[in-house]
């Protein structure tokens, strides 16, 4: 479902930046979302290769 790059971002957030698993799962977890929301998230991640989880949550 997700590219290898997205998986590594989730792993990096959790292990390198000590972001709790629950918070990473809210952004990268497998769940059924509105296709419009998924498209927005994907475009946001592509535009902001280095982003803070908090900023993404505010945008969503």
First-residue to last-residue Cα distance in the chain = 20
Q: Mind listing the pLDDT tens digit for each residue in 32-55?
A: 667 888 888 888 888 877 767 777
Whether the pLDDT of residue 8 is over 80: the answer is: yes
Binned at pLDDT 50, 70 and 90, residue 10 comes out as confident
* Structural domains counted in the chain: 1
> What secondary structure letter does DSSP report for 16?
T
- Average pLDDT on 2-31 reads 80
| 36 within 8 A of 60, measured Cβ to Cβ | no
Q: Mind listing the pLDDT tens digit for each residue in 16-27?
A: 888 898 888 888
The predicted pLDDT at position 31 comes to 62
Q: What's the pTM value of the predicted model, to 2 decimals? A: 0.42
């Amino acid at each position: 479902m997700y590219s290898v790059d997205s998986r590594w971002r989730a792993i990096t957030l959790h292990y390198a930046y000590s972001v709790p698993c629950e918070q990473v799962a809210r952004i990268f977890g497998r769940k059924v979302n509105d296709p419009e929301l998924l498209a927005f998230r994907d475009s946001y991640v592509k535009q902001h290769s280095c982003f803070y989880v908090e900023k993404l949550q505010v945008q969503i």
